[in-house]
Chains A and B, each alone.
Chain A
Amino acid sequence: MRKTYIKGNKEKTFRVLFLYLPIMLFLIFLLFPFYWMLVTSLKTSQEIRMLPIVYFPSSPSLDSYRYLFEQFNFLHPLRNSLFIAVLTTIISLTVSTLAAYSFSRFRFKGRNFFMSLFLLNNMFPTVLLLIPLFTIMRSIKLLYTPYSLVLSYTTFTIPFSIWLLHGYLSDLPLTIEEAAMVDGASRPKAFLAVLMPILLPCILATGVYIFMQSWNEYTFAVLFTNEKSRTVPVALKMLVGSFGVQWELISAGGVITVIPVCIMFFFAQKRLVSGLTAGAVKG
């Protein structure tokens, strides 16, 4: 009895030392920057520079948030970012789902060439494409409108999304659609009614990837937008000057920026994991 008790105790200690403790340390390491961002946004500018470091403000204040929305007009870039990210996600998902379906279901000339070409597109450094894209946007009168960003982002997100969805679609047996078509469904109907529900986790995962890419992008956004079409990353960078940083405002902006992504993850996490791993391992 005593032996079992000791054994149980040892096992518990072992678990605490080698499982819970490392997990806890890892979580602290992972979550501390978020905690610090939140706490900084609640501090006054004096408290931020105070020594010794203040780990929690004596009287947390929402002044930074108030300032961001009332004086800095943060809602405006927030609206722009949301519009751009949602539109990019819808366009990219529609195009890449259809393209991935074609690449996985039809055998046509140049199929492999195009798939390789899609990969090549993502290998170019963004900076190289900046000026040509800028000139194109100017010529087609899209410069300084949100659509210039939507168009630019889709050029990067569509090829990668096609690869992502193609991997999953190739794993799905042809017989599923064939069975539907034997039962009288047309190809579009078979795709929409039979394949789409199965594809949903992967589409969701791809959608989250596209949304995050367009939500956080800065390099294109700073060049292709003006004050009317500014997005959140550019607006936040305005708070970093050559002689100082408005830490309390930038942290508050950071917290607000993270919220939509967190909400998305909260609802999508289960499907996201299965979607991301789908097509990765061929059985």
Chain B
Amino acid sequence: MKRLLNVLLALVMVVSIIPIATNAEGTTLTYWFWADNDKYAATMREMIADFNATNSKGTVIVGEQIPWDGGSYSNTLLQAAIGGGGPDVATFKLTATPSFVNNGLLENLDPFIEKWDKKDEINENMYNVMRGASGTDSVYVMPWNVQVLYVYYRPSMYKEAGIEVPKTYEEFLEACEKLTRDTDGDGVTDVYGFGMRGSNGGQEPWGCFIYANGGTFETLDSEESIKGMQDYIDLFTNGYAPPTAPNDGFSQVIDGFQSGITAMTIHHTGSSAQMIEQFGEDVDAFIFPAGKGQWTSMGDTENVMFSSCEDKEAAFEWLAYLAAGKGQETWCSVTGNVPVASSVQGLERFQNDRFMKVSIEGQSVAGILPIRETTTSWISEWPSIIQQALLGETTAKECMEELQALLWE
């Protein structure tokens, strides 16, 4: 009997130790991410392995790659989270923030960021953009990496036109005029100052003009915004942009710049490799200069923690690893995206890349379009409304009033 009791006691002790042993091994967290190609997916797996081997709590991240599927990733994530079976942590797009926050699915990161020793490494503007996206005063989305729009220019063309890199918005407009030239004297313009994007996706570079005049996306029908639109129309009607500008999309503006038809155009680091391949040292960049205001567009990828996550401290350690740790450096080095943490931005490899450097400078004025139910339709309507204004069928005022109504009413 005594022996039996001893065995039972030993069993109870073993059973009681098991949970402690499991706890010492750390939590397992599921992380959903999308990758633009196989190389990026492999990089993410290496980062996960590195984090699993080095983190302080013995946390094990289990990575699950989910297809981007033209943006349906956010829907898949939302459905899984609402269904109660989503991941603990996930890669995220800012535009999806309202639907997740309104359903109470995301964890408020304020308390974690507050006590995070690297919180100041991320520009305050980034946190403000994250707050704006959620429509609250809290940060629900952890910054990870961005693409910031800047102006590409050809130093040789600047030299030929006898001008310096513009420091103000007015100087930029002057540069557009002076860079527009008839190089062979046949009376026909050969080089246009500005590669204007009047078609799909053009709302982002266009926003720079609106903000430079003191306008905003919130007040598209204000005098300042209308003045910005008028400047945009003038660039086209004065012949400082190619005649095809109202129909030019991404490929056309990049091709125009690469073939020497335009002297400046606006895009991000996504095209810098091909620019360097084409022009070598004869291509550089500057952030769209300030006028009464300054703004540039930001492409974004973030990470979120779900409120259903059971070990939030461990999850935040992973978010921090991605935002300002080794994960930040590895991911941005491989993908060419712009890091958000100042310690990583300061690394030689990023500082030696002139386009990366300009992007980092631009982060303080970078922003996104207002996230509303109307935003998607506004973006798809934008080209036809702008085209009418560029072709003189509507005035700048009429155009901006229509855009304001479409976005805000």
In the complex, chain A residues whose CB is within 8 Å of the CB of B35? 238, 241
For the complex, count residues of B whose C-beta is within 8 A of A: 24
Q: Which of B175-218 contact A (CB under 8 A)?
A: none
- The answer to the question of B104 belonging to the interface, with a C-beta cut-off of 8 Å to chain A, is no
CB of A138 within 8 A of CB of B65, answer no
CB of B79 within 8 A of CB of A246, answer no
A223 and B80 in contact (CB under 8 A), knowing A241-B34, A242-B34? yes
CB of B76 within 8 A of CB of A223, answer yes
A131 and B70 in contact (CB under 8 A), knowing A71-B38, A243-B36, A244-B37? no
CB of A131 within 8 A of CB of B67, answer no
CB of A227 within 8 A of CB of B41, answer no
Q: How far is the CA of A134 from the CA of B80 in the complex (A)?
A: 7
Please name the residue on chain B nearest to A72 by beta carbon: B38
Q: Which of A174-230 contact B (CB under 8 A)?
A: 222-223, 226-227
CB of A238 within 8 A of CB of B36, answer no
Please name the residue on chain B nearest to A234 by beta carbon: B67
A238 and B84 in contact (CB under 8 A), knowing A223-B76, A244-B37, A246-B37? no
- The answer to the question of A237 belonging to the interface, with a C-beta cut-off of 8 Å to chain B, is yes
Q: Which of B45-67 contact A (CB under 8 A)?
A: 63-67
In the complex, chain A residues whose CB is within 8 Å of the CB of B117? none
In the complex, chain B residues whose CB is within 8 Å of the CB of A222? 66-67, 69, 76
A243 and B34 in contact (CB under 8 A), knowing A131-B79, A134-B79? no
B37 to chain A, nearest CB (A): 5
CB of A135 within 8 A of CB of B84, answer yes
A138 and B85 in contact (CB under 8 A), knowing A241-B68, A243-B36? yes
CB of B85 within 8 A of CB of A239, answer no
CB of A240 within 8 A of CB of B69, answer yes
Q: How far is the CA of A243 from the CA of B36 in the complex (A)?
A: 6
Q: How far is the CA of A228 from the CA of B215 in the complex (A)?
A: 51
CB of B83 within 8 A of CB of A135, answer yes
In the complex, chain B residues whose CB is within 8 Å of the CB of A143? 85
B278 to chain A, nearest CB (A): 15
CB of B83 within 8 A of CB of A246, answer no
- The answer to the question of A130 belonging to the interface, with a C-beta cut-off of 8 Å to chain B, is yes
In the complex, chain A residues whose CB is within 8 Å of the CB of B165? none
In the complex, chain B residues whose CB is within 8 Å of the CB of A243? 36, 270
- The answer to the question of B82 belonging to the interface, with a C-beta cut-off of 8 Å to chain A, is yes
Q: How far is the CA of A28 from the CA of B80 in the complex (A)?
A: 43
In the complex, chain B residues whose CB is within 8 Å of the CB of A246? 37-38
B61 to chain A, nearest CB (A): 13
A98 to chain B, nearest CB (A): 32
Q: How far is the CA of A138 from the CA of B36 in the complex (A)?
A: 29
In the complex, chain A residues whose CB is within 8 Å of the CB of B66? 222
Q: Which of A234-261 contact B (CB under 8 A)?
A: 234, 237-244, 246, 249
Cβ 8 A contact of B79, one of A130, A226, A249: A130
Q: How far is the CA of A88 from the CA of B68 in the complex (A)?
A: 27
For the complex, count residues of A whose C-beta is within 8 A of B: 25
CB of B64 within 8 A of CB of A131, answer no
In the complex, chain B residues whose CB is within 8 Å of the CB of A240? 67-70
Q: How far is the CA of A71 from the CA of B37 in the complex (A)?
A: 13
In the complex, chain A residues whose CB is within 8 Å of the CB of B63? 227
Cβ 8 A contact of B84, one of A72, A138, A226: A138
- 1/0 per residue, CB under 8 A from A, across B70-98: the answer is 11000010011011110000000000000
- 1/0 per residue, CB under 8 A from B, across A66-80: the answer is 000001100000000
Among the interface residues A71, A222, A227, which one has the most CB atoms of the partner chain B within 10 A? A222
In the complex, chain B residues whose CB is within 8 Å of the CB of A237? 67-69
A137 to chain B, nearest CB (A): 8
Q: How far is the CA of A246 from the CA of B40 in the complex (A)?
A: 12
In the complex, chain B residues whose CB is within 8 Å of the CB of A135? 83-85
In the complex, chain A residues whose CB is within 8 Å of the CB of B36? 241-244
In the complex, chain B residues whose CB is within 8 Å of the CB of A130? 79, 83
Q: How far is the CA of A131 from the CA of B83 in the complex (A)?
A: 5
Q: Which of B265-291 contact A (CB under 8 A)?
A: 270
In the complex, chain B residues whose CB is within 8 Å of the CB of A239? 37-38
A271 to chain B, nearest CB (A): 36
- 1/0 per residue, CB under 8 A from A, across B1-39: the answer is 000000000000000000000000000000000111110
B357 to chain A, nearest CB (A): 22
In the complex, chain A residues whose CB is within 8 Å of the CB of B80? 134, 223
Q: How far is the CA of A241 from the CA of B70 in the complex (A)?
A: 8
Cβ 8 A contact of B64, one of A137, A227, A244, A249: A227
Please name the residue on chain A nearest to B335 by beta carbon: A243
Q: How far is the CA of A128 from the CA of B69 in the complex (A)?
A: 19
Q: How far is the CA of A144 from the CA of B30 in the complex (A)?
A: 13
In the complex, chain B residues whose CB is within 8 Å of the CB of A249? 38
Q: How far is the CA of A137 from the CA of B84 in the complex (A)?
A: 11
Among the interface residues B34, B36, B83, which one has the most CB atoms of the partner chain A within 10 A? B83
A91 to chain B, nearest CB (A): 24
Among the interface residues B34, B38, B65, B71, which one has the most CB atoms of the partner chain A within 10 A? B38
Q: Which of A88-115 contact B (CB under 8 A)?
A: none
CB of B67 within 8 A of CB of A134, answer no
In the complex, chain A residues whose CB is within 8 Å of the CB of B34? 241-242
- Other 5 A-B pairs with CB < 8 A, given A237-B67, A238-B41, A242-B36: A131-B79, A143-B85, A222-B76, A223-B79, A242-B68
Closest 6 CB pairs of A and B: A241-B36, A237-B67, A134-B83, A138-B85, A135-B83, A131-B83
Give the A-binding residues of B (Cβ under 8 A): 34-38, 40-41, 63-71, 76, 79-80, 82-85, 270
Give the B-binding residues of A (Cβ under 8 A): 71-72, 130-131, 134-135, 137-138, 143-144, 222-223, 226-227, 234, 237-244, 246, 249
Could you list some 29 contacts between A and B, CB below 8 A? Answer: A130-B79, A131-B83, A134-B79, A134-B83, A135-B85, A137-B85, A138-B83, A138-B84, A144-B85, A222-B66, A222-B67, A223-B80, A227-B65, A237-B68, A238-B38, A238-B41, A238-B67, A239-B38, A240-B67, A240-B68, A240-B70, A241-B34, A241-B35, A241-B40, A241-B68, A242-B36, A242-B71, A246-B37, A249-B38
